[in-house]
Amino acid sequence: MTRLRTKSDRKRLLRRVRKPRVKKITVLPSLITILNGVFGFTAIIFASRGAEQQIGQFSCFALAGYTILLAMLADMLDGRLARMSQSTSSFGGQLDSLCDMISFGVAPAFLMLRVVGHEMESLGFANAGFMQRFIWFAAAVYISCAAIRLARFNVENAENESAHMSFVGLPSPAAAGVIISLVIFDQEKTPALNAIVYILPFLTLGVAVLMVSRIQYPHVLNQYLKGKKPFAHLIRALLFLGLVIWSIQTALVLIFCGFAASSLVKWLYYKIVRKKGYLTLPTDPLPRLASGDAGARQATLTETSHVGIAEQEHG
């Protein structure tokens, strides 16, 4: 290989190899994104203190859940501000994913690990090695799927507003919402029931799989609240608001779990029920027409093929 004899040759080569530096960033959206990560780190601190310590009337486990909710609010605001100011950038997207990994990946998994472990100790299962390993496995799978989900989103996502009408796979904030809503409900509504020990690890695995799936989930803000919508959307929003005022813990469970299950149920319906209905069509759907009525027989054949194509598209 020819050696670079002069200093100018070396500088010229470095300019071709080096990537351009980030010289300017949008300050306000970046600050809100960092606030998202700080909230996630604070949730981890609250979760590490356990249920015995309380701040006011809230247990530390419940406070960890509410802090992740604040991270969700910051995550919603930073992207909205960046798109409104037309200052979206690759730097902002990468920073957002790193903070999301803390707030919606590590923090919910650690909270689940601590809550279920504490409940198992209170039930006398502290030495159950299989249960401990299963809980750790569920948390590890959740963190791994959250990382894959965020990396895939960075690769496939477009910066224009029209690309934010739906998500491929369950969004990581919604997956975290399923976990924290159940933790908050358990801590504040049913602290003596201990049912979360048997439910939460399996739900954690379920939402982890949904995050890396190809099931389409709607963007709630853009699809149902932004712009002019039918009057029924206002009625539903008022019903949800009334439910939040009546019992925020119950509302969180219904909203997050319902959102995670809605697209899954729809996907199962089109994949299983509709496809099964197509496969059970009669073997000879053509009517027994007379030999002289060949045109009617051909029309029936064409109509039947259109039905089959339509069913395959929905499947």
**CA 146/CA 172 separation, integer angstroms:** 6
pLDDT score of 4: 47
Angle 101-102-105 from CA coordinates, rounded to 5°:
55
Mean predicted lDDT score pLDDT of the chain = 77
**CA 159/CA 88 separation, integer angstroms:** 7
Q: Which residues of 293-309 are buried (b: 16+ CB within 10 A; e: fewer)?
A: eeeeeeeeeeeeeeeee
Closest to 191 in 3D by CA, of 100, 96, 129, 115 = 115
In tens digits, the chain (315 residues) has pLDDT values of 455 456 666 666 555 555 667 666 677 888 889 999 999 999 999 999 877 777 777 888 889 999 999 999 998 888 777 777 666 677 777 888 899 999 999 999 999 999 888 887 777 766 667 778 888 999 999 999 999 999 988 887 765 555 567 788 899 999 999 999 999 998 888 766 677 777 899 999 999 999 999 888 887 766 666 667 677 777 877 887 888 888 888 889 998 999 899 889 888 888 887 666 544 444 444 444 444 444 444 544 444 444 444 444 444
pLDDT score of 91: 78
Closest to 109 in 3D by CA, of 192, 32, 203 = 203
- Partnered with residue 216 across adjacent β-strands are 168
DSSP annotation of 161 reads: G
Residue pointed to by tokens 């299950």: 261
Q: What is the pLDDT of residues 114-148, one digit of tens each?
A: 988 888 777 776 666 777 888 899 999 999 999 99
Read out DSSP for 191-212? TTT-THHHHHHHHHHHHHHHHT
Closest to 183 in 3D by CA, of 46, 314, 23 = 46
